[in-house]
């Protein structure tokens, strides 16, 4: 059992990452209310958030720019229109999704960009391609992470092989991603040990990005805090794909670092998040997401169930378990 001091003590290396614009944007095709992006940027600065993720660096040859809001593409000029000439401590990030970005064209030299961190997202079978993105971004001057998605479906031997390859790459942060919200805290502790072995061997940091299908995103995130994970993803009011993510308001309420201030988060939720939800933007825990989490399945079926406004949960259960 971990020492309680590991859970409750102040660790300066901990970094809170706001992923609301990126993961939350998957809920509404990145069309946020007017002024939303600037307001959440200002709230993050006041709250002491360490890193703000603006969205994806999606390939405009693959995605229609008219069908998505600007955080789908994270043009450098757009980010500057939000942050102005900001030069404070909070770092800015964007995600490069392997196979869905043109990183050589769209990710420019760090010296010419407002971004500091490129978060490279991939599945286990895409690790070589991810390393190519990481090497390119590192040469351009960025800090990088590798967010390995759908870890709960991977074989331990495959995960270790991936971590060894990544360890030999210039990546800075190895990210645990519970894409399906299927991992339980006791399992998460073992995952942290596995990542920790390679992080220590290759001098890397570790991050956690949890989904809330079984209402365990917060529990798994604070489990990781106690296991030495430093980069903690969260979103305002848990906004994110499907069941959403670890709630920023819960995470800041837990962390003991006096630099974090929960009040700007609560204010932003009152002024922007709750009104958006009241107008019909849908995310968060529901039974259909719990079922895909329990079954360790991608939530795409639950997302479709939600969009169709279905309530026949028993039929849905039969569908995803192939029961008659």
pLDDT in tens, 179-230: 999 999 999 999 999 999 999 999 999 999 999 999 999 999 999 999 999 9
pLDDT in tens, 18-28: 999 999 999 99
Q: How many beta carbons lie within 10 A of that of residue 187, not counting itself?
A: 14
Give residue 256's pLDDT.
86
**Tokens 């390939």 correspond to what residue?**
59
Task: Please enumerate in sequence order all residues whose Cβ is within 8 A of that of 108, keeping only pairs 6 or more positions apart, or say none.
Answer: 76, 140
Give the pLDDT band of residue 322 (cuts 50, 70, 90).
confident
Give the pLDDT band of residue 324 (cuts 50, 70, 90).
very low
Q: Count the helix, strand and coil residues of the chain and give each as a percent rounded to the nearest 5.
A: 50, 15, 35
Output DSSP code: residue 247. Answer: B
Instruction: Say yes or no to pLDDT of 6 above 80.
Output: no
Q: Do 5 and 252 touch, CB atoms closer than 8 A?
A: no
206, β-bridge pairs: 174
Q: Tell me what percent of the residues of the chain surpass a pLDDT of 90.
A: 95
Give the pLDDT band of residue 3 (cuts 50, 70, 90).
low
pLDDT in tens, 162-191: 999 999 999 999 999 999 999 999 999 999
Instruction: Say yes or no to pLDDT of 5 above 80.
Output: no
- Which token pair is 8? 């409750």
Measured N-to-C along each axis, helices 300-307 and 287-294 cross at an angle, to the nearest 10 degrees, of: 160
pLDDT in tens, 143-161: 999 999 999 999 999 999 9
Output DSSP code: residue 170. Answer: S
**Tokens 């995130």 correspond to what residue?**
221
């Amino acid at each position: 059992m971990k020492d309680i001091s590991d859970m409750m003590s102040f660790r300066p290396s901990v970094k809170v990452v706001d992923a609301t614009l990126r993961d939350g944007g998957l809920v509404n095709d990145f069309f946020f209310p007017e002024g939303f992006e600037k307001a959440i940027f200002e709230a993050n600065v006041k709250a002491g958030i360490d890193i703000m993720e603006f969205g994806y660096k999606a390939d405009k040859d693959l995605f229609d720019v008219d069908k998505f809001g600007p955080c789908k593409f994270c043009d450098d000029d757009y980010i500057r229109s939000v942050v102005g000439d900001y030069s404070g401590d909070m770092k800015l990030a964007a995600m490069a999704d392997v196979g869905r970005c043109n990183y050589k064209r769209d990710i420019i030299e760090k010296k010419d960009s407002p971004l500091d961190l490129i978060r490279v997202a991939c599945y286990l079978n895409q690790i070589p391609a991810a390393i190519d993105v990481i090497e390119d971004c590192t040469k351009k001057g960025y800090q990088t992470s590798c967010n390995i998605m759908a870890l709960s479906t991977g074989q331990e031997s495959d995960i270790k092989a991936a971590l060894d390859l990544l360890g030999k790459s210039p990546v800075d942060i190895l990210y645990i991603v519970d894409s399906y919200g299927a991992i339980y805290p006791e399992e998460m502790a073992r995952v942290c040990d596995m990542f920790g072995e390679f992080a220590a061997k290759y001098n890397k940091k570790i991050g956690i990005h949890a989904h809330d299908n079984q209402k365990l995103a917060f529990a798994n995130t604070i489990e990781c805090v106690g296991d030495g994970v430093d980069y903690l993803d969260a979103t305002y009011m848990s906004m994110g794909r499907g069941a959403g993510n670890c709630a920023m308001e819960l995470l800041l309420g837990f962390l003991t670092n006096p630099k974090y201030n929960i009040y700007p988060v609560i204010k932003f939720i009152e002024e922007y998040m709750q009104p958006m939800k009241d107008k019909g933007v849908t995310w968060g825990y529901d039974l259909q997401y719990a079922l895909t989490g329990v079954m360790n399945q991608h939530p795409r079926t639950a997302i479709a169930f939600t969009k169709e406004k279905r309530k026949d949960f028993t039929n849905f259960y039969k569908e995803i378990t192939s029961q008659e």
